[in-house]
Structure 1
């Protein structure tokens, strides 16, 4: 009986996705009851003058955050804001839908509810609350709740009934709204062809970008005229210009030492433990995994190096820091491996720099410079040059074939190369190799930055700016931090690269020009910002978008040149080959064209040209087509697929159902958007939360 209570109660605490895909039934949070609750509690919004209560809204948000955290997910500031916005929108949508159902008189009888709970075709909610493990309903458990003689499950049953009634009511509303939605045989046939037919074509294309700049004439008046004629394209929302600096939450040597010091206290106990796995499980964050035999290439490089330096069973390795973890490991087994792993370094030179590569190789072999120092000085591989070209351990299949073949054949401790790959020329130094697999019991600790220290640095920076009246950029540069300028639109939910919450955007709205912010948690860093400028909504001044305008005008001019050239070629020639010759171009082939994708290989997305190919019969040739990237003349050579023989009754029925559901979804979405547009929705959260 307790398991029934847990299943019913636990499920109803969550968020239920119901008939309208965009609406949330926030049952336990009271989402459907949050509108019109009266003056109790803080109002965080209104729908046509009816209050949305802050207490219920906050409860719903907390449930969503708990659901994320229960899955072990960290919720960043920007993610929390997205959750808050979705919850607020759900309150608004639910309020509008409930009002419409009342207006239209959509009702559900008690008999319908009872049948949807206990009948042969129950509401999907019932199978979720009372699952039998096979996708059906545990009828015995359901019956215990329905026929509960002591009223022990009265509250749960009432909640289920309310949700089932709401689901059914909304399903009726959905059916009412979409009752006139139909899919014609012609639509089904057209969609079948669109999805299944492919085409081949020959074409002549004159790219607009191929026109040299000196072949067009552009004046300042052209730019100004284009800007005036297309000024609606340059409308922008109210926006903010800021500059910010970030204080990264990167671990320091002291942070690594904290993690290794903690593991140091376990070394003796780990070494003498009769059951090392049990010891690891008692001392690990989370469950320690069952040890499996793995090769060096499958371990973090630093840990692999420490382990494979001595493969004595029973030896405790570490603490070793690798990436963002500190490890303590005990070797509990060693066996021959199926493959060899190597640890290597490399120096990458540009293709064609063989003389330089051989000169550096000679200096390394003479002892004039170490391989690691040469990598730091000469390698063009930015991912590891600062680590002396260290590639760590790797097994077969991890590197490009030429590099891998050379590395696995190279003797340990000797420089091999230069080796040519698609990346350039490589000198390779294999430092170690291992053909055995090892079985480890591991204890790990995260190496985390001292957030209080990083936050303190950020706070000191902000306080110093204010107290000493220092220039933001100058002070940042003196501290070795590069300020980053950013443009942020009003209503923008996040700043690229930063995980910022609502408190940051509240600062933007309220700050004075030049005001320095408090530190904001941005996920991987703490951010200090300064408001540089606030702009009102409206057309962007010409000077602000001049680069965009110039690019657009130049493209239009070049488009006109290529369109005229191709029209002239078509006027004097009939065959595609003759047109290409007259236009100074070539005839190219394009196979496997898809109407759904609209892509021409080598040109990109060109829907007008692809549409023309499918609109012609094999052998027919088009006129001049103004594409997005080029002017085209196309000749269809073949149309395959999407035939009557392939258009079976099963395919027809499946596609008709897909199109019908798609149409219904669009109708419902348009209906809901219409309700939103007509409603007077007030959102007070920015001022209150």
Structure 2
């Protein structure tokens, strides 16, 4: 018998509000409430055999789209929808993996635990939010009434499922967090690094001082490095493609139309007695503002206000992608008060955008029939080329586009896309080459390897040179003099620093310096850009006894957050690598 069969139910209105405020529609999908409604093969994929249904996928996307519309006041763009589709998929995959891991670990929640979350001394925040009095106590009578009302039994079943799942996830989170506890030793070491300082002297020998002509690099050296470091030259799947674009930004006709709209409203703007309401009613791109401004400080584009009479509105002015008019309200001595009414210049959704969409669709159709290049040549369209890498939605020349990547990741060579709508254009693509993931060929990375090997040999030569200097010179001053250099200094250098003032980013050198005793001269220290010889002139070590409880707690929280973020990401990636994940979206949703 379920928990809610032990605790019958309550007022419908309260509980339906409670359900939607807690779980939202898509969250209910995870409880399999919609399973009975599913008909036919509608799974978008599987995670270790556990299906991801079309219902839960669409519910989650719908939630994101609703949130987007509420927050921005705009309808969803194709690019944002593509982003949310990928986000929904990744979240559902992660959710399935976590559910499966909880099953493997035997993490369960008893009926009594759920009862405690609802009627216990300290109920779940979800319950508390709905039944809390103004004084912070729980209205137990209202809660019990809600539990005992029989007409809402199905609602309470959902509540039970959500609370049970929440408690289960809390246990899972606690399990994961237990593997990432921050010890007192870690906190103390972090405090020491942040509060240990030194005044340092050093002599720097830049790698660049060794000319290329002094370094002998053979083909054997390069191939040896390549063979020993192949893992550094792995590549993701990549794509080369051609594309034709169709500009859907505002045309001259669009600009003229908006100018006319602004001009037609000039009289109404002059006559209105409520400028703020007028701007809201006509959706001005510039919010209402009416304050006195010194004439000498008026923005150049608003200077026409100086030629107006009080209450007069200027002609429509076009500048910086906007059409605006200015209404002068008042003038006193060297100040003017005025209001600006603005329209953004946007493309007409029918005359411009739909026309370009039809043109792009027409091109795509005939490119399939007669050939991409041939159709582009016949229409005298410019064919451009681009390159993209799987997992990186930024494409040079086109910007960031999840839609394009979705097409490329499921396309085959020579395949032509349907029109893809970007923020300012439609594009039609033709895939010309797909390079599978793997190790990049030696010749492709030869120049990169050559730079690395040359720098390595430079470093070896400099280390030998510095060792010879150290053999005959005991002090930094003597080493500097013998090599024609100066001794540099860095005061109050932190053990936690990664940059040495005057020497650049050198974390390994900083670490080596703080391994020295005070007044001890180091041997050659190889950094990222130079070889160093260094000495600590004065050192101030952290005093652990000065660490307050508040500082200890703050450090522990920071370290915990860093460790958790790093571990969680790695842990989830590991779960994904070990899982059997089938993605059928390309077939079911994209017609692949």
What is the TM-score normalised by the length of structure 1? 0.72
8 Å CA contact 1:498, 1:522 repeated in 2: no
Where does 1:591-610 land on structure 2 (aligned, <5 Å)? 591-610=491-510
Superposed CA offset, 1:96-150 (max 9, x none): 33333344443334443343345554434446667889xx96845x864552375
**Cα distance in 1 for residues equivalent to 2:439 and 2:192:** 43
State the shift of 1:624 in Å: 0.9
SS at match of 1:635: strand
8 Å CA contact 2:250, 2:347 repeated in 1: yes
State the shift of 1:456 in Å: 5.3
**Cα distance in 2 for residues equivalent to 1:2 and 1:285:** 43
**Cα distance in 2 for residues equivalent to 1:466 and 1:604:** 55
Aligned to 2:7: none
**Cα distance in 2 for residues equivalent to 1:298 and 1:124:** 53
State the shift of 1:483 in Å: 2.9
- 1:292 and 2:192 aligned: no
Q: Return the match for 1:505 from 406, 418, 427.
A: 406
Change (3 A) 1:568 1:451: farther
Q: Return the match for 2:484 from 584, 600, 616.
A: 584
**Cα distance in 2 for residues equivalent to 1:36 and 1:296:** 70
Superposed CA offset, 1:149-205 (max 9, x none): 756776665544433322222222333444465544322211111233333311112
8 Å CA contact 1:82, 1:493 repeated in 2: no
Change (3 A) 1:126 1:637: farther
SS at match of 1:28: helix
8 Å CA contact 2:45, 2:581 repeated in 1: yes
Aligned to 1:635: 535
Aligned to 2:4: none
Where does 1:270-669 land on structure 2 (aligned, <5 Å)? 270-284=269-283, 289=288, 291-294=290-293, 301-302=300-301, 304-310=302-308, 312-336=309-333, 435-440=334-339, 442=341, 444-448=343-347, 450-455=352-357, 458=360, 471=373, 483-486=384-387, 488-496=388-396, 497-502=398-403, 505-507=406-408, 509-513=410-414, 516-640=416-540, 642-660=542-560, 663=563
- 1:71 and 2:71 aligned: yes
Gaps of 5+ in 1: 16-25, 337-434
8 Å CA contact 1:247, 1:525 repeated in 2: yes
**Cα distance in 2 for residues equivalent to 1:163 and 1:574:** 73
- Range 166-175 or range 283-292, more displaced: 283-292
Aligned to 1:217: 216
Superposed CA offset, 1:248-295 (max 9, x none): 443332221111222222222222233343333332258953533445
State the shift of 1:206 in Å: 1.4
8 Å CA contact 1:612, 1:634 repeated in 2: no
State the shift of 1:658 in Å: 4.5
SS at match of 2:114: helix
Q: Return the match for 1:681 from 567, 573, 581.
A: 581
Where does 1:256-275 land on structure 2 (aligned, <5 Å)? 256-275=255-274
Change (3 A) 1:14 1:100: same
8 Å CA contact 1:569, 1:579 repeated in 2: yes
Aligned to 1:255: 254
The number of residue pairs the alignment matches comes to 573
Task: Calculate the aligned-residue CA RMSD, in Å.
Answer: 3.9
Superposed CA offset, 1:275-330 (max 9, x none): 3433333322589535334457887743x0332332x2111123222323322332
Change (3 A) 1:657 1:276: closer
Aligned to 2:27: 27
**Cα distance in 2 for residues equivalent to 1:230 and 1:476:** 49
Change (3 A) 1:541 1:520: same
Aligned to 2:6: none
Where does 1:188-227 land on structure 2 (aligned, <5 Å)? 188-227=187-226
SS at match of 2:544: coil
Change (3 A) 1:464 1:179: closer
State the shift of 1:60 in Å: 0.8
Structure with higher helix content: 2
SS at match of 2:317: strand
Change (3 A) 1:173 1:35: farther
8 Å CA contact 1:76, 1:501 repeated in 2: no
8 Å CA contact 2:367, 2:375 repeated in 1: no
SS at match of 2:28: coil
Superposed CA offset, 1:333-382 (max 9, x none): 3345xxxxxxxxxxxxxxxxxxxxxxxxxxxxxxxxxxxxxxxxxxxxxx
**Cα distance in 2 for residues equivalent to 1:678 and 1:655:** 34
Gaps of 5+ in 2: 1-10
Superposed CA offset, 1:477-531 (max 9, x none): 976x683532x22344443552423465324642434x55443222233233332
**Cα distance in 2 for residues equivalent to 1:212 and 1:668:** 46
SS at match of 1:107: coil
Aligned to 2:114: 113
